[in-house]
Amino acid sequence: MALRIGWIGTGVMGLSMAGHLLDKGFALTVFNRTMAKAKPLIDRGAQAAASPREVGEHSDVVFTIVGYPSDVEAVTIGPEGALSGMKKGGVLCDMTTSSPTLAARIAEVAAEKGVIGMDAPVTGGDVGARKATLSIFVGGDAEGFATIKPCLEAMGQKIMHCGAAGLGQRAKLANQVAIAGVMFSVCESLLFAAQSGLDVRRWQDLVVTGGAGSVAMGTLGMRMIDGDFEPGFFINHFVKDLGLVLEECRRMHIVLPGVELADRFYRSMQGRGRGSRGTQDLINALAEFSGTQWTPVPEKAGR
């Protein structure tokens, strides 16, 4: 019998991801706080639900991808959450980047109702969501993983079952730890090169594939050089992620000074009303920190 899928959260990521499930022929029931944003899915045959609970009532598997851990809690195990409507044997899978501790608790609460709680946060951004090339880190029961795997394969390319509930979130947070350091690498090196009087476009081209290179130097670094500051990933969201990382560090009794530094910088930017800028705004903030400024080198001027 074909799985009936529920989908909660139709933001930039969720809308594309749920669309891939429709492409594969899954029956979909959707809910979003701002229901208008779910319209493209409704227009393609998805059923609209009036609440997360109603999504649960009509679904064997419910996916959620919302904003903050408090939102995750509300739409999953909250009084009106999806779990309250789900039947025994269902799978409740949160794809938001959220707290590993919350993910483990959702799995516990779900288990009491005979529902399998899973966490499956993703990387790859809006482009990865649109092209179905996401990487997906999955935590939770092997049985639940087997059930949702065909759905995940419709949304992503690399899918890793990391272990018990919460481990998907931990794998995603470890990814964010790596991003924090890489962003400092890209911004500080470009700033140093520019202040030194180098042609940063040519410099970047030489360095990006060497031992100092990174994926972000080729993508976000190039946007900084181009002067393209359109947000790809919001500072507000990264601050949320780094907060979750530091919470876990505290729990695990480990100190990551690089992450702490990044957290301080991004929070200071957020405090100055720049939270809805993209993370590549860090290069401007670092320049301002020294009373100078970053000057992009658009293609034509640079050659």
Q: How many CB atoms lie within 10 A of CB 105?
A: 17
Q: Which of residues 59-98 bind a copy of itself (CB under 8 A)?
A: none
Q: What is the CA radius of gyration of the chain?
A: 21
69 or 90: whose CB is closer to a copy of itself? 69
167 scored as a contact of a copy of itself (CB under 8 A): yes
Among the listed ranges 28-36, 111-119, 256-264, 266-274, the one in contact with a copy of itself (CB under 8 A) is: 256-264
Return the residue of 84, 219, 231, 247 that touches a copy of itself, per CB under 8 A.
219
Among the listed ranges 22-30, 37-45, 101-109, 215-223, the one in contact with a copy of itself (CB under 8 A) is: 215-223
The answer to whether the beta carbons of residues 41 and 64 sit under 8 Å apart is no
Q: How far is the CB of 74 from a copy of itself (least distance, A)?
A: 26
Q: How many CB atoms lie within 10 A of CB 72?
A: 27
Return the residue of 265, 283, 284, 297 that touches a copy of itself, per CB under 8 A.
265
Nearest to 130 by CA among 5, 8, 15, 11: 15
Residue from 87, 172, 240, 300 carrying the catalytic annotation: 172
CA dist., res. 39 & res. 19, Å (int):
11
Return the residue of 7, 137, 238, 266 that touches a copy of itself, per CB under 8 A.
137
Lookup result for tokens 């649960």: 56
CA dist., res. 79 & res. 208, Å (int):
50
Q: Is position 300 annotated as part of the catalytic site?
A: no
Return the residue of 142, 255, 293, 302 that touches a copy of itself, per CB under 8 A.
255
30 or 200: whose CB is closer to a copy of itself? 200
Residue 53 region by backbone torsions, left for phi larger than 0, else alpha for psi between -120 and 50, else beta: alpha
Residue type, 272: R
189 scored as a contact of a copy of itself (CB under 8 A): yes
